[in-house]
């Protein structure tokens, strides 16, 4: 039998396979590095694009916030003007009412009674005065109660006032202002 030495051929084949493996490994590493670089650039590009979008939105939001603040300021001014107009209209509308109420206070005042103080708040008038006697205070309350413009007189206090006479008394009286049902003469 002939002896064939296959060892050099195997060595050569092994070296060739090793070169192919290393070449294939190098190509795979290069492709991997290229994939990572391309992926990084793609992700960074999307991040940059999203940052640009976010900045655009933030800029528009600032613009809209400024517009909203301006609108709120205009609404505040508008409400102030409406409030002023309402107050002016109420004052002009109440002018005849105030005159009528004062007229009623004078018309309902009996002889022997005079007012020393008059305070008005909301729809209530506080009257402070002096009467020759308690009967005069009662008469005043009855007259106030029958008035079309005044109602619910409420006597808070009656005190003797001897400096004005033996039976004289000071009084504190509250009365409510009530508009009559038919207000035909209130306009003029």
Q: What are the residue boundaries of the structural domains of the chain, listed by start?
A: 14-107, 110-177
Between CA 136 and CA 112 the distance in angstroms is 7
Between CA 68 and CA 52 the distance in angstroms is 24
> Hey, what are 112's tokens?
């022997």
pLDDT tens digits for 1-50? Answer: 667 766 777 888 899 999 999 999 999 999 999 999 999 999 999 999 99
DSSP 71-130: HHHHHHHHHHHHHHHHHHHHHHHHHHHHHHHHHHHHHT--TTEEEEEEEEETTEEEEEEE
In this prediction, residue 132 carries a pLDDT of 81
DSSP single-letter state for residue 162: G
pTM of the model: 0.45
> Hey, what are 114's tokens?
């005079």
Q: Taking Cα atoms as reference points, which of 185, 124, 117, 122 lies closest to residue 150?
A: 124
pLDDT tens digits for 93-102? Answer: 666 777 777 7
> Hey, what are 21's tokens?
């493996």
In this prediction, residue 21 carries a pLDDT of 95
CATH code of domain 110-177 = 3.30.70.2830
Are 116 and 128 contacting, i.e. CB atoms less than 8 angstroms apart? yes
The sheet with strand 113-121 has its strands ordered as 113-121, 124-131, 169-177, 150-160
pLDDT tens digits for 101-126? Answer: 777 777 777 888 878 888 877 778 88
> Hey, what are 69's tokens?
């603040």
């Amino acid at each position: 039998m002939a002896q064939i030495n296959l060892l050099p051929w195997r060595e050569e084949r092994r070296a060739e396979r090793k070169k192919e493996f290393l070449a294939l490994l190098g190509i795979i590493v290069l492709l991997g590095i290229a994939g990572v670089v391309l992926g990084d650039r793609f992700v960074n590009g999307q991040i940059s694009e999203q940052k640009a979008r976010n900045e655009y939105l933030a800029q528009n939001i600032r613009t809209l916030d400024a517009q909203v603040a301006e609108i709120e300021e205009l609404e505040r001014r508008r409400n102030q003007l409406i409030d002023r107009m309402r107050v002016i209209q109420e004052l002009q509308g109440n002018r005849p009412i105030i005159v009528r109420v004062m007229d009623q206070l004078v018309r309902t005042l009996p002889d022997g009674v005079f007012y020393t103080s008059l305070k008005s708040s909301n729809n209530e008038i506080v009257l402070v005065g002096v009467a020759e006697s308690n009967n005069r205070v009662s008469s005043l309350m009855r007259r106030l109660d029958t008035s079309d413009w005044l109602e619910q007189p409420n006597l808070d206090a009656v005190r003797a006032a001897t400096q004005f006479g033996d039976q004289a008394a000071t009084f504190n009286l509250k009365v409510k202002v009530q508009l009559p049902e038919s207000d035909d003469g209130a306009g003029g």
